[in-house]
A and B are shown apart, each in its own frame.
Chain A
Amino acid sequence: MPADREKFPLPERLFLAYTAVSRWATSGSITSPDSLGGRRGCANPFALFKILLFLLIILLLPIFVLPMMLVRLVESGRQSFRYGSSVDITAGDEARWGHGILPPVPGDAVIRSGGAAIANGDPGFRVTALTDWAVAATALNCQSLVSGDATCTRTFMANGLYRAHQALLELRARSEVSCAGAWRAVGAAVVGVTRSQLVEEVRVRVHCEGWRIERHEHSGLTLRGGPEVASWSEDLTFARSAGAVTPASGGLPANRCPSCGAHLDLDPGGACRYCRGVVTAGNDDWVLVSWQREPW
């Protein structure tokens, strides 16, 4: 429902009425005359009326704001404060530089033993297939962020991640947040292998080089980044169901349908156009389930 047609509760309508009157009272410069040759400032009776009205509504502010505050307080209840305090909110530089911190890398032995455990159940498993794929995926991730369209990531993102990524790009576009830049992966290495009863996960850290800049189009403010060349890391986590094995065709990393082996051609739902199998669910082959970018 468009916001301007929405019927807000009475206390909030009171608050909206208050802001509308205050906006009117402060509109226009009181130091300039109404018309050519007209009187300025307090000598202008209309401007004087607006000043008095503005002072009066400032005085009456609690009458308009208190009902909304009290209703919201009653609605939220005491329990909400306990929950509210448990939500981890950070602000300022701490928020910017704390968002997306990549997890530490475990020792080589841990990674090797994890890889060996997967290879035990799947002789076709090759770590290099995933690192090469991560490098190729980085170029497409860059393309999707710059163009604001996630379609190019459909062939490697799991359904959930793809939908969330598409939704984020839409959300950014609605808020006039844009991204420009050009970057590429200059190296990739496996930094984590985990297995549970249900899934196998391989985390690949990609080292990127290039430039990127994020702007708010309406205000012209640069939010993050700049035109200078920089380097940073991103973690791409691939996962598949425990018990899945690498298809003979090489599967998604080799640009083949893991189900029928045909050249990869997917519909927007992640289903192969030849065999109709939904191949990006992670049941048959590796898919990207998480993409973390270092703070920037």
Chain B
Amino acid sequence: MVSGMVLAAGAGNAARSAVGVLVVVVIAGWALMFAVLFGMLIYLTVLRGRRQSRKRMEPAPAFSADPNLPTVLAQARHADPYFDEQLLLDASQLICLVMFAAMSTGDEEAIRYLVAQSFWSTFFGRYTRSSARSARLQRIQEQGSRAGSRRQARLPVDYQALAPELISLDLRQQRACIRVSFSQLRAVVAPGAPGQTAMASATSLPSLAVSFGGAMSERMSNSVPGLSWLSWAGKYDLVFTRPPGTRTDPRAAIANRTCSSCGATYRSELATTCAHCNTERPVAWDTWRLADIAVVE
């Protein structure tokens, strides 16, 4: 009987210790989560605010295209008779839109097909992949919700771009740089949408705190979905590369319009395979792939 009481007391102590450990883990978890979340938001907000004030103080210098471009292009055509810079300009227009698609809907397939492997280790590569994954996670969560109860959506509404411009070309290194300037607009439909979008663009700690509070209170009160907007505009240099020693295949641009296997016309610009026979679609700009994106300050 005595040993039974000792065992029971031991079990009670063990249970109390386990609960104690769990409480410590939970409290530490909450503290760490808030520290990471707010640390990230504060760091990003401060950096964004600093950059904006710097931009106001000293406007960015204008960069211009390589003055030797006509000569370089003539040399390029001599070395590669079917080289056409227009294909790269076309590529840059579609790629920016396809990145917008990946970030809005989570569908990464089209962008994967147009970029070099090295692109994924650049900032924009990581940013695109992370945004696309978040969009897919959100989609899965919505698919699991009760029918008709989908209350959150990020909608790709508009995309406008200026004409792209060839900035530099180096055929020895098989590298071309195209400048693009675009603005994309997304509608956010969700309870507390204005607060959510304001958090994404906050440039000071007070504005961050106000928007965070607003978004949380709307969500907690389970109010009806609101509408807000997010836009991303900027000027970027897209760097395209292709393997050394490559020459342009003049059939590539045509092969991209109809399936070489079954002859069907591709109806979708976002498709990477033939809808009829599933054969992989060739890229219109042959072996050129997007390798990097740099912000033009």
Contact = CB atoms under 8 A, between A and B. Distances in A.
Interface of A: 1, 3-4, 6, 8, 12, 15-16, 19-20, 23, 27, 59-63, 65-66, 69-70, 72-73, 75-76, 79-96, 98-100, 158-161, 163-164, 166-168, 170-172, 174-177, 196-199, 201, 214, 216, 218-219, 221, 223-224, 237, 239, 267-269, 271, 278, 281-283, 289-293
A164 B159 contact: yes
A134 to B, nearest CB: 15
Contacts of B176: none
B104 A221 contact: no
20 contacts: A23-B145, A80-B127, A81-B43, A81-B47, A83-B295, A84-B44, A90-B233, A91-B229, A92-B198, A98-B231, A100-B183, A164-B96, A167-B269, A168-B156, A171-B156, A197-B69, A221-B225, A268-B266, A269-B254, A290-B162
A32 to B, nearest CB: 14
B19 interface: no
B87 to A, nearest CB: 8
Contacts of A87: 232, 234, 295
B290 interface: no
Given A27-B146, A90-B231, A198-B166, A170 B270 contact: yes
A240 B295 CA distance: 27
Contact of A79 (B96, B123, B163, B201): B123
Given A88-B233, A91-B229, A93-B229, A216 B146 contact: no
B91 A160 contact: yes
Contacts of B234: 87-88
> Which 8 A-B pairs give the minimum distances between C-beta atoms?
A62-B29, A160-B90, A160-B93, A85-B47, A91-B197, A95-B231, A289-B163, A167-B269
B197 A100 contact: no
Contact of A84 (B97, B127, B144, B146): B127
Given A84-B44, A167-B98, A175 B26 contact: no
Nearest to A296: B158
Nearest to B48: A85
Contacts of A282: 86
Contacts of B86: 159, 281-283
B209 interface: no
B247 interface: no
Interface residues of B, number: 97
B277 interface: no
A239 B163 contact: yes
B15 interface: no
A201 B163 CA distance: 9
The residue among A23, A72, A96, A289 with the most chain B CB atoms within 10 A of its own CB is: A96
Given A176-B155, A198-B85, 19 more contacts: A12-B133, A16-B140, A59-B26, A62-B30, A62-B32, A76-B127, A85-B47, A88-B232, A99-B229, A100-B160, A159-B90, A160-B89, A160-B164, A172-B156, A175-B104, A216-B187, A219-B225, A278-B253, A289-B163
Contacts of A91: 194, 197-198, 200-201, 228-231
B227 A221 contact: yes
B245 to A, nearest CB: 26
Nearest to A172: B156
Contacts of B25: 63
Given A76-B126, A92-B228, A96-B229, A6 B92 contact: no
B163 A62 contact: no
A75 B130 contact: yes
Contacts of A161: 93
A273 to B, nearest CB: 13
B280 interface: no
The CB with the most chain B CB atoms within 10 A, among A4, A163, A214, is that of: A163
Contact of A3 (B67, B106, B227): B106
B84 interface: yes
Nearest to A12: B137
Contacts of A269: 253-254, 256-257
A210 to B, nearest CB: 18
Interface stretch (B2-10, B33-41, B75-83): B33-41
Contact of A86 (B157, B160, B297): B297
A165 to B, nearest CB: 9
A172 B65 CA distance: 34
B242 interface: no
A89 B232 contact: yes
Interface string B120-163: 00011011001001001101110111100010010111111111
A82 B133 contact: no
A121 to B, nearest CB: 15
A164 B32 contact: no
Contacts of A174: 105
B276 to A, nearest CB: 15
B101 interface: yes
B223 interface: no
A218 B154 CA distance: 12
Contacts of B160: 99-100, 290-293
Contacts of A72: 130
B257 A170 contact: no
Contact of A80 (B73, B92, B126): B126
A12 B183 CA distance: 31
Nearest to A194: B163
Nearest to B92: A160
Given A75-B130, A172-B156, A219-B153, A66 B33 contact: yes
